[in-house]
Amino acid sequence: MKRVLLFIATNLAILILLGIVSTLLEGYLASQGIEFERLGLLVFAGVFGMGGSFISLAISKWMALRSTGAQVIESPSNDAERWLVETVRQHANAAGIGMPQVAVFPSDSPNAFATGARRDAALVAVSTGLLQGMNKDEISAVLGHEVSHIANGDMVTLTLIQGVLNTFVLFFSRIIGEFIDRAIFRNQDGRGMGYFAATIFAQVVLGALASIVVMWFSRQREFRADAGGASLAGRQGMVDALQRLGSLSARTEPLPQQMAALGISGGRRGLGQLWASHPPLEERIRRLQTGTSH
């Protein structure tokens, strides 16, 4: 689940930054007599919205390595590393994708993630806690799950969804900003300080609401990745891996908040599930056991 939250957090930060830049640019253009009609504003928002999302995707691998301290296995130095690389290679071949980079990151929490802008140039990383707490069949299933994310093109799919949502966040935040500036601050041209303050505030609020939609799609992709892991490493192996994740996670420190949605384990219940990138482990296990993971 780690890959998703880092992508979302990076995207939101870039969206806010681009939102500020685009608002200032829009103000400058307005001072020069260049005004955007609604269609032009939508195109303007689309350029910045989709651009921010694809920037997030482009730097996703670099951000994941930097934030987790993961070390890429350039040349396996022991039997464990050789087995890890070879297992990823077998899954990648079976899934029809290029060989990903393989990395290990220091963390007591059992976790793993896959990220990258392209299917044939991705990254699969596992934590030291996962390697120490699981047997080879369970680790193989986790690796199959992550390889399935790559094969399914999940990062690109989420990028496109996020880009479309970014576009509407930027567009409607400007509509809201102009309305507030005219209705409350009585600026007839709708371009006073109230407009800029209301626009930035609306971007933050709408961006948070848009993340609910992205997280819903993420949860559906997790079910597909579970099914993919079961196909690559065996259904029982995938079930055992999720069950082991549940028991190990209860005894270890959670990942940092900014990383919590990039890994394989996780899931919340109640209202908090709206912003959860993963379904509860119990639901994932149930779907695997009943054959309804797709």
Active site (catalytic) residues: 146
Residue 50: exposed, middle, or buried by beta-carbon count in 10 A (0-12, 13-18, 19+)? middle
In 3D space, the residue among 205, 256, 179 whose CA is nearest the CA of residue 12 turns out to be 205
Please name every residue paired with 114 in a beta bridge, in sequence order, or none if there are none.
Answer: 124
Integer Cα distance of 36 and 191 in angstroms: 12
Kindly compute the dihedral angle of the four CA atoms of residues 125, 52, 167, 221, in this order, to the nearest 10 degrees.
Answer: -10
* 244 contacts 110 by C-beta, under 8 angstroms: yes
Residue 251 to residues 127, 194, 254, Cα–Cα distance (Å): 15, 50, 9
